[in-house]
Amino acid sequence: MDTMESFVKKISVFFILITSGAAFAQGTLAEYKKAIALDSLFRDKVINSPSSFHWLENGLLWYVNNTSKGKEYLWVSPSAETQKECFDHVALAKLLSETFDKEIDADQIDITELEFDADMDEVKFIFDKKKVSYRPSSNTLTIIDANPRDRDRNRGYWGSRFDETTNPPVMSPDSTMTAFIKNSNLYIKNNETEEETRLSYDGAPGFYYSSYIKWSPDGKKIMAYKVRPGDDRKIYFVESSPADQFQPKLQSRDYLKPGDELPFKSPQLFLVDPKKHIPIPTDEFSHQFGLNRIDWREDSRAFSFEFNQRGHQAYKVIEVDALTGNLKVLVNETSDTFIDYSSKKYRYDVADGKEIIWTSERDGWNHIYLYDGKTGQVKKQLTKGEWVVRQVVHVDEENREVYFTASGVDKDQDPYFIHYFKVGFDGKNLTRFTVENANHEVTFSEDFAYYVDRYSRVDASPVTLLKSSKNGKAIMQLQKADHSALQKEGWIAPEVFTTKGRDGITDIWGIIIRPTSFDPNKTYPVIEYIYAGPHSSFVPKDFRAYYWSMSSLAELGFIVVQIDGMGTSNRSKAFHDICWQNLKDGGFPDRKIWIKEAAKKYPYMDADKVGIFGTSAGGQNAAAALVFNSDFYDVAVSSCGCHDNRMDKIWWNEQFMGYPIGPHYAASSNVENADRMGGNLMLILGEVDDNVDPASTMQFANALIKANKDFELVTIPGMGHSSGGDFGERKRKDFFVKHLMGVDPPSWEAIYGQKTN
């Protein structure tokens, strides 16, 4: 945009603001109060919308329904086509009240981890951190464990270096021998005589044998692999205000970044009785991003593993003969751009590897293939067409069928809607389980004879049906959601809007969110919530009462939109490939067209005043809107963004930006291109973010300062990877109100109340 055009644009906006008058005022104190109350206002206003379902081995189903009164625990008999309460809620509430010496409302019983016995005469559950047994027939309640162990939800930090040295010794299948590592090499010990035998002689501290050892099922062979360690990179940050001490703390995390050296694994084969070491040639897997799924065949004839090549343009399934050490490549997946191994890859070995179920985008769409597990040849492409397999749900070896989800099959429906299917190993008898024009979530019974189908759209509340897998027909309606109470609060359903993208051919899908006070005679600045991470698609497809910050921002007097542009996933491979080595694209050519076309249809949308916000990859996108697209976007709030892909975690960035690290990394960098930034920018940063290196935001800020660019930087003490929490949300609202509306926000004391000590 040239200087004169920019000047005219600003004058036009100023004229609109001063002539709109008090009646059209937006960003007012009343609107702020309504915006922050919206979550509470809309909460619990949708009833009869259960979200999780649990099948029992006896073929019964139980779930919790949210009624107008509270919680209702129900079980369902598909064969009898009946539904009733799991227990007498009043009787149980009375017993819980007496046992735990607290008043329990029969409509608000809060129990978790329910377990039913086969005849449904006993139900066990967790209540008040204790495990309880309840027998409805005798109306008795017993505490059976006063201190049940919490389920381990600690998955560990993603970047922690995999410790290859501390696994305990591994017993042979018949318990007569033990394999272990000593002095970087593999040994075995006779458990009866305690005699030790050294099997390897090529291990060394710099290329040592891992303690993750695998015996063959027949106990006659061992797979052990050597490891050459990679780089030991860490990120550091200071926690300025720890809760447990006055002085700050220095924290660090293991954190490999694009271009760093990765560990190299070299599987080795050992024959136990002759004490023979058979080295495995590494030619087929030399340039490693990673080796994984190292597993023996059940008949001990071979072991297999998966090889992910650095740069993600080749992915192989390799089998090693257990007698000769000869390699056979069973699957050799290649791509000129990238293989989406982290989101789309699926493998299932049928009958101990005699066949392999595999997913691939080789024909331009993600589909299912059946391989011959002996020859490595494709026997059959099981699914085909201009639509995508989203997930393989189940492989039924006995009936030779694959259950899966897919999107885009119905050309008259949203191409992102998830539907459920099955298909035979011969590629025939494609069977649908869902047909309704909505997004579906199915929960199959353990024998796959029945399933619960819960479906909805952003503009249609959920319906929950029990269906038969035999014909896909509904047996009974379990629940139909009621959101009339939500509508009474002024709730307006998001509108689904589509238009053609940059190629003039491909439909781009998104939603429009309006405030409860919406008036078509007003003019509304537009704010886009962006997350263009190529690993998925992000525009909501299910019904929700509240769309977090989007709903709250809209309530201040904005139109808020969310769009899936090209470069995101779950469409064709060509649609996805836009992102490759080009994350700065972010689908912006499609987004700008989409917003302009929406504004043509709805003139109250002011496409000359457009803001944008996002977090993480969305934070990178939001800043890129002003760095690379300031001809269209005026205001951006970027939270915890990766502003240079060389600074972020290795696996996510090399997945889409590739390897080696070339000039394309700098070309997509907000830091390298900071001098191009135009508009009003706020950066929000969590002080102890261990997902995206906080230095990425600080380096962007440094580059902006050197380029003499004005911006705001908000650093939140003690906060990790986030959008900024409550403080960040307040700052974001004020920033958009000030710079998109030209209004000084009300004081926080007036909005949120004066806090006193």
- For residue 688, give the nearest of 257, 254, 250, 256 by alpha carbon: 250
- Please determine, for residue 8, whether its predicted confidence score (pLDDT) is greater than 50: no
Query: Which amino acid appears at position 372 of this protein?
Result: D
Residues 275 and 190: beta-carbon distance below 8 Å:
no
Q: Kindly report, residue by residue over 608-626, the tens digit of the pLDDT.
A: 999 999 999 999 999 999 9
Mean pLDDT for the stretch of residues 275-304: 97
What would the two tokens of residue 109 be? 């019983």
- For residue 444, give the nearest of 7, 70, 53 by alpha carbon: 53
Q: What is the 3-state secondary structure (H, E, C) of 495-544?
A: EEEEEECCCCCCEEEEEEECCCCCCCCCCEEEEEECCCCCCCCCCCCCCC
- For residue 266, give the nearest of 231, 217, 302, 229 by alpha carbon: 229
Instruction: State the DSSP code for 49.
Output: -
DSSP string, 597-622: HHHHH-TTEEEEEEEEEEETHHHHHH
Instruction: State the DSSP code for 377.
Output: -
Measured distance CA(343)–CA(53) in Å, rounded:
25
Query: Which amino acid appears at position 380 of this protein?
Result: K
Residues 207 and 226: beta-carbon distance below 8 Å:
yes
Q: How confident is the model at residue 373 (pLDDT cuts 50, 70, 90)?
A: very high
What lies within 8 Å, CB to CB, of 348 at 6+ separation is: 356, 357, 392, 395
What would the two tokens of residue 143 be? 């505490």
Q: How confident is the model at residue 24 (pLDDT cuts 50, 70, 90)?
A: low
Q: Of all helices (H) and strands (E), which one includes residue 734?
A: helix 725-741
- Please determine, for residue 3, whether its predicted confidence score (pLDDT) is greater than 50: no
- Please determine, for residue 2, whether its predicted confidence score (pLDDT) is greater than 90: no
Measured distance CA(43)–CA(45) in Å, rounded:
5
Q: How confident is the model at residue 232 (pLDDT cuts 50, 70, 90)?
A: very high
3-state secondary structure of 751: helix
Q: Kindly report, residue by residue over 447-470, the tens digit of the pLDDT.
A: 999 999 999 999 999 999 999 999
pLDDT value at residue 146: 87
What lies within 8 Å, CB to CB, of 472 at 6+ separation is: 431, 432, 433, 434, 435
Return the percentage of the chain with pLDDT > 70, whole number: 95
- For residue 650, give the nearest of 157, 156, 155, 158 by alpha carbon: 158
Q: Kindly report, residue by residue over 44-75, the tens digit of the pLDDT.
A: 999 999 999 999 999 999 999 999 999 999 99
How far, rounded to the nearest angstrom, does the alpha carbon of residue 474 sit from its chain's CA centroid? 31
Residues 150 and 131: beta-carbon distance below 8 Å:
no
Measured distance CA(701)–CA(347) in Å, rounded:
44
Q: HSE, CB side, 13 Å, CA atoms: give it for residue 532.
A: 34
- For residue 109, give the nearest of 92, 131, 132 by alpha carbon: 92
- For residue 349, give the nearest of 298, 389, 311 by alpha carbon: 298
Q: Hey, what's the torsion of the CAs at 362, 381, 356, 350, to 10 degrees?
A: 150
Measured distance CA(108)–CA(89) in Å, rounded:
9
pLDDT value at residue 218: 98
Q: HSE, CB side, 13 Å, CA atoms: give it for residue 698.
A: 10
Strand pairing of 355-360 and 367-372? antiparallel
3-state secondary structure of 748: helix
Residues 32 and 754: beta-carbon distance below 8 Å:
no
Measured distance CA(528)–CA(624) in Å, rounded:
13
What lies within 8 Å, CB to CB, of 65 at 6+ separation is: 48, 50, 71, 72, 73, 74, 479
Q: 691 or 156: whose pLDDT is higher?
A: 691
Measured distance CA(197)–CA(190) in Å, rounded:
8
Please report, for residues 242, 250, 719, the alpha-carbon distance to residue 245 in angstroms, rounded to integers and kept in the order given. Answer: 6, 12, 16
Measured distance CA(553)–CA(330) in Å, rounded:
52
Mean pLDDT of the chain: 94
- Please determine, for residue 637, whether its predicted confidence score (pLDDT) is greater than 90: yes
- Please determine, for residue 153, whether its predicted confidence score (pLDDT) is greater than 80: no
What lies within 8 Å, CB to CB, of 528 at 6+ separation is: 560, 561, 562, 563, 591, 595, 610, 611, 612, 613, 633
Return the percentage of the chain with pLDDT > 90, whole number: 92
Residues 179 and 222: beta-carbon distance below 8 Å:
yes
